[in-house]
Structure 1
Amino acid sequence: MSDYLKRGFLLGLGAAVSGKEKLEQKLKELVEKNELTQEQAKTVLENFIEKGDTQKQKWSDKQKEQTQKLAAEYGIATKEDIHELKERIHELEMKLSNKTAEEVEEEE
């Protein structure tokens, strides 16, 4: 499943790069024909890039969500799960070492 998401992402990225190149070319032509100013062309290109970044973030969030669902479905521990377990183990070790220290004091 992850391979399909990766391929889809790369396909979208390729289309975006191709689209950006075509947009840059078209904007250059419009500037040369004096149909747009250089500043207007720059603004259009910046808006295109900004929208691309927004879409990239949406795809990234969607992929993360999809991965979390799959991990939950298959019972795979997440980093958060492992971190939580490490904290619990540490707390138990501390309680155990305190109890052991108390037992040693009682024996003396």
Structure 2
Amino acid sequence: MMDNWMKRGFYLGIGAAISGKERFEKMVQDMVDKGEMTPKEAKSVMDEWVKKGESADRDWSNQTRGMMKNRVKELGFVPEEDYRELEARVAQLEKLHREQNE
């Protein structure tokens, strides 16, 4: 159920983004067709909006990554790096223990 809900939300977001992009491109093309903007200006506007979109995507990804890390930590999971460090320390202690008992 949750997977289906998440998939639908993802697809909804993708659909909205594509629809918004198509509407924006049509609006810019209409402005070019009416002579309100040159093709060069239209390209510049499109490039600027792409850069803003990429920046927003990076920001969103970083925020999401941070939130996920916090949620995982709240659930009691440890980062893999911490786990590996503890695993190495346990192995060291076991080795010391074996050496002392020999």
Task: Report the TM-score when normalising by structure 2.
Answer: 0.72
Q: Structure 1 residues 23 and 49 mapped into 2: Cα distance closer, same or farther (>3 Å)?
A: same
Share of identical aligned residues, percent? 34
CA distance in 2, matches of 1:7, 1:71: 23
Q: How does 1:1-108 map to 2 (within 5 A)?
A: 10-89=11-90, 92=92, 96=95, 100=99
State TM-score, norm by structure 1.
Answer: 0.68
- What is the rounded CA distance, in whole Å, between the counterparts of 2:74 and 2:63 in structure 1? 16
**Which structure's CA Rg is the greater one?**
1
Q: Take 1:10 and 1:88, find their aligned partners in 2: how far apart are those partners?
A: 45
| Ranges in structure 2 where 5+ consecutive residues have no aligned partner | none
CA contact (8 A) 1:31 1:38 kept: yes
Offset at residue 27 of structure 1 (A): 1.0
State the Cα deviation string for residues 28-48 of structure 1 (Å, max 9, x = none). 111111111111101111111
